[in-house]
Structure 1
Amino acid sequence: MEIGGYIELEKSNKKMLYADKILLNAGRNCLKYIIKAKNIQKIYLPYFLCDSVRDACKDEYINIAYYHISDNFLPKSIELQHDEWIYVVNYYGQLSNQKLEELHNEFSGRMIVDNAQAYFQEPVIGIDTLYTCRKFFGVADGAILSTSQLMTSELSKDESFQHMNFLLGRFERSASEFYGEYAENNKRFKNEPIKKMSELTKNLLNGIDYEFVKEARTTNFNYLHQQLKDINLLTVTKVEGAFAYPLMIENAAEIRKQLIAKKIYIPLLWPNVLDDVEEDSLEYQLALNILPLPCDQRYGVKEMDIIVSEIMNQLRL
């Protein structure tokens, strides 16, 4: 124990959301944790999914099958055998807990829910559910797992201090200046073993005003929905504390390009899907033509109006 010396980051006395759950270092490692704890041998994954989830399953040497989703993001035509599991993604928080409970019953309890895009949607009791902190907050790592089945092996604790530079830089300078470091940080999880959440990440999460974040994201989402619902090819339900507003339009790739030129950064989520499925499939169209519009706690109606105006200007060209 050291006494004295220079002062480090302040410690928060608040309590993070889901503090009573299993706190890990990465979302994909939450899945690995469940696979190990429940000895899963085969899992169904949606075609519309980040390749990191598939890679995590391959790392655990389990059998993988794939399923299609419908236009309301629900699994299509799946009948599980007694030793099979299904991985259900709560895309943009569009699956309510009632719907997740219905699916859980339909699949006889052998279901894992990915709430990486629905941080403020509390887990349903009895349903294995995972969350990713980086998609909602300014942290370099961190994930939450809600499950009743514990691994028997002891986990080491992660450390995050070496991975914070892109966040510190982004605080005082532009995002583009540190994008390379941000991308490298994302890549490192490919080889990261399952670890407990770092003390640094936990402390940062303890200091967040979750009600403010939730309210800001909800307000921004609702504003975007009010302005864009008539041109949205998706039927979108309102979400509390939304990840992003999913606007599906034709020619989204060109509009994304023009928005980025205006320094409105709209990601192409899961570009691997464009290589994994046929061009006439629903999954291909979802991956290509959904613009996940930012609606997070850094912004208000002013910024949302800028986004809407630029989109409408591009559509009129």
Structure 2
Amino acid sequence: MKEIGGYIEFETFRSAMRYDDGIKLNCGRNAFAYLIESRNIKKICFPKMMCDSNDKVLSDYDLDVRYYSIGKDLKMEDITLNDDEWLYVVNYYGQLSDEYIRLLKQKYDRLIIDNAQAYFQRPAAGVDTIYTCRKFFGVSDGAILYTDSELDRELPYDESYKRINFLVGRFERTASEFYSEYAANNDVFFDEPLKRMSKLTENILHGIDYDFIEKRRTENFGYYHEALASVNRLDLNIPSGAFMYPLYIEDSVRIREKLRDMKIYTPTLWPNVLDMCNKQDTEYDLAENIIPLPCDQRYSYDEINYVIEAIKNV
């Protein structure tokens, strides 16, 4: 019998959750691990421009890895898959269209799409697809996986109550006060085993206004693009529910520093690429010179315009 009475815990939310029919797991890298196990993957073709959180997954499962390059259109080079080799494709900044993904599926078949930066782009039919929750919403963990393969073992549930302090801290105070906790939470997932999504994270995801968030992110990306497309070296589509606005521009290091001085924080999303690749590589250039500008649901036109003007001034 569960406890009855006592103090009331965190509220239970009952609104519809986006991707409620997917497999709910604790993080994106473990959604990949789930596929490796359930698909019995031994060989994989992997992008050079990828965060190092997946390196441990590749190592733990002793995968035979072959790396491929992408172009400045953020699409993969043309390759030939070897026997039993799978192809892992990242949908950078949500720039891969549904039609492009369908063509990849037709050509390569053994395809995994990483939609960590494209939460609002629905999975293509028959394509294994990974979504990461904490890049889009105020949760400390969580991922969604779409696949028709099943794992033949039971998974324990993760628990998030010890990880939530930096989220509620920033809600009432400043990001800088809790940044070290945020960074530590990111580091946790290098060693976190494959688990089901925590009940707390799933509950929060049932309380989110997805329509508002999708609309606000799309609008904000559009504001940036209208003002900055003429100087942006990327030819971009406006994705629905955008992740961030990728401004690919010369002198990005100096601009990024100036913005930080103005308390406009722009991450370097793939710092490991700067160590792994040569300066002549496209991936090095993209990782160093794309400034990811925030366009999420916290901001309206006023904040986006402030960032635009700051960029113009520097």
TM-score class normalised by the smaller sequence? over 0.9
1:163 maps onto 2:126 in alignment: no
Shift of 1:74: 1.7
- Provide the rounded CA distance (Å) in 2 between the counterparts of 1:151 and 1:138: 29
Give 2:35's aligned residue: 34
| Bigger mean CA deviation after superposition, 8-17 or 121-130 | 8-17
Give 2:65's aligned residue: 64
- Provide the rounded CA distance (Å) in 2 between the counterparts of 1:201 and 1:124: 25
Give 2:84's aligned residue: 83
Matched letter for residue 33 of structure 1: Y
- Provide the rounded CA distance (Å) in 1 between the counterparts of 2:174 and 2:60: 36
Matched letter for residue 195 of structure 1: K
Shift of 1:232: 0.1
- Provide the rounded CA distance (Å) in 2 between the counterparts of 1:268 and 1:70: 19
Give 1:204's aligned residue: 204
Gaps spanning 5+ residues in structure 2: where?
A: none
Matched letter for residue 186 of structure 1: N
Give 1:16's aligned residue: 17
Which segments of structure 1 move beyond 3 Å, counting only runs of 4 or more?
none
Q: How many residues align?
A: 313
- Provide the rounded CA distance (Å) in 2 between the counterparts of 1:69 and 1:18: 29
Matched letter for residue 102 of structure 1: L
Alignment partner of 2:162: what SS?
A: helix
Shift of 1:227: 0.4
Shift of 1:307: 0.5
Alignment partner of 1:87: what SS?
A: strand
- Provide the rounded CA distance (Å) in 2 between the counterparts of 1:223 and 1:74: 24
- Provide the rounded CA distance (Å) in 1 between the counterparts of 2:196 and 2:283: 34
- Provide the rounded CA distance (Å) in 2 between the counterparts of 1:2 and 1:71: 57
Q: TM-score, normalised by structure 1?
A: 0.98
Shift of 1:290: 0.2
- Provide the rounded CA distance (Å) in 1 between the counterparts of 2:210 and 2:259: 29
Give 1:153's aligned residue: 153
Shift of 1:17: 0.5
- Provide the rounded CA distance (Å) in 2 between the counterparts of 1:207 and 1:312: 38
Matched letter for residue 299 of structure 2: Y
Alignment partner of 1:35: what SS?
A: helix
Give 1:93's aligned residue: 94
Shift of 1:77: 3.1
Give 2:52's aligned residue: 51
- Provide the rounded CA distance (Å) in 2 between the counterparts of 1:70 and 1:258: 28
- Provide the rounded CA distance (Å) in 1 between the counterparts of 2:59 and 2:105: 24
1:298 maps onto 2:282 in alignment: no
Gaps spanning 5+ residues in structure 1: where?
A: none
Give 1:3's aligned residue: 4
- Provide the rounded CA distance (Å) in 2 between the counterparts of 1:48 and 1:266: 18
Shift of 1:81: 1.5
Shift of 1:37: 0.2
- Provide the rounded CA distance (Å) in 1 between the counterparts of 2:275 and 2:179: 24
CA RMSD of aligned residues (A): 0.7
- Provide the rounded CA distance (Å) in 2 between the counterparts of 1:225 and 1:282: 23
- Provide the rounded CA distance (Å) in 1 between the counterparts of 2:156 and 2:287: 36
Shift of 1:58: 1.2
Alignment partner of 1:161: what SS?
A: coil
Q: TM-score, normalised by structure 2?
A: 0.99
Matched letter for residue 169 of structure 1: G
Seq. identity, %: 52
- Provide the rounded CA distance (Å) in 2 between the counterparts of 1:17 and 1:129: 14
